[in-house]
Every structure is written in C-alpha cells, then in structure tokens.
C-alpha cells in the first residue's frame, strides 16, 4: 500500500465513494479547508481510503456557579456571541462543545441552537 498526499485529482473518485457509501451519513469533506493534512492510502493505484486531520473549533468555558442565574445566562450569551464572531471570521461553520447531556448547561445550549453531533464522538489521547 502507498500513502501520499491527497491531490485535487482525487476528489472525483472520493466523491463517488462518498455518494456510494456515505451521502446519507455526512456531507462530503472540504479537504481544502481547515485540514492540517489530508492523505490517500492506495493499492495498485486505486484509492482504498482517504482522510485527514481537520481542525475543529471548540468552546471551553469556566463559570462561577455561585453567580446569579441571570448573570450566568447573560455571560453565556456574550460568550456565544464572541465565539460565533470568532469562528465566522476564521472561516469555520461549526463550533463544538463537549458537555454532560444531563447538565443544565447542555439544556441551555440546545435552546441556543446547539445540537447533538452526528455519529458517536470518540477521542484518542496521544
């Protein structure tokens, strides 16, 4: 097997793979945007797999839980406004937040448009 950088010429073949197997699961990746690296693994000049490492913005917050609930909500709204401003200026279209789904913050965030991610989130610590 051969590993090489993904090239523009690969996109047509990758779109065919996506349409055949993944179109109902997720949108075709924009390999030219926000990827640290994108690569192809091929055998006999046929793509077996392609992928890469994409950068995703994540909101991380620390909140004084003793502050009045109204103040915490106002602070969250401001944090969200600044986060959206930042990611939009950087050309991103999503921001992630990792929260306990039973937590009140998760419920509040969903009122502001946050949704559960597609698929199951997994992490590999290295």
**How do the domains of the chain map onto residue ranges?**
2-54, 56-118
- Residues 3 and 38: beta-carbon distance below 8 Å: no
Q: Nearest to residue 109, comparing CAs of 32, 2, 101?
A: 101
Segment 97-105 shows an average pLDDT of 83
Query: In this structure, are residues 76 and 114 in contact, taking their beta carbons and an 8 Å threshold?
Result: no
In terms of residues, how long is the chain? 126
Tokens linked to 60: 């991380």
Residues 6+ apart with CB under 8 A from 100: 106
Query: Alpha carbon of 41 to those of 4, 7, 88: distances in Å?
Result: 7, 12, 32
pLDDT value of position 123: 85
What would the pLDDT profile of 78-89 be if each residue is shown by its tens digit? 999 999 999 999
Q: Model confidence over 33-73: pLDDT tens digits?
A: 999 999 999 999 999 999 999 999 999 999 999 999 999 99
Structure tokens at 12: 């047509």
């Amino acid at each position: 097997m051969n590993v090489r950088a993904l090239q523009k010429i690969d996109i047509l073949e990758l779109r065919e793979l996506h349409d055949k197997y993944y179109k109902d699961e997720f949108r075709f990746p924009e390999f030219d945007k926000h990827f640290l690296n994108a690569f192809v693994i091929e055998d006999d000049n046929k793509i077996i797999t392609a992928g890469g490492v994409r950068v995703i913005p994540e909101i991380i917050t620390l909140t004084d839980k003793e502050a009045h609930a109204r103040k915490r909500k106002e602070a969250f709204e401001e944090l969200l406004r600044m986060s959206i401003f930042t990611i939009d200026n950087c050309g991103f279209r999503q921001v992630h937040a990792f929260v306990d789904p039973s937590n009140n913050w998760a419920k509040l965030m969903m009122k502001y448009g946050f949704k559960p991610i597609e698929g199951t989130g997994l992490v590999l610590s290295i």
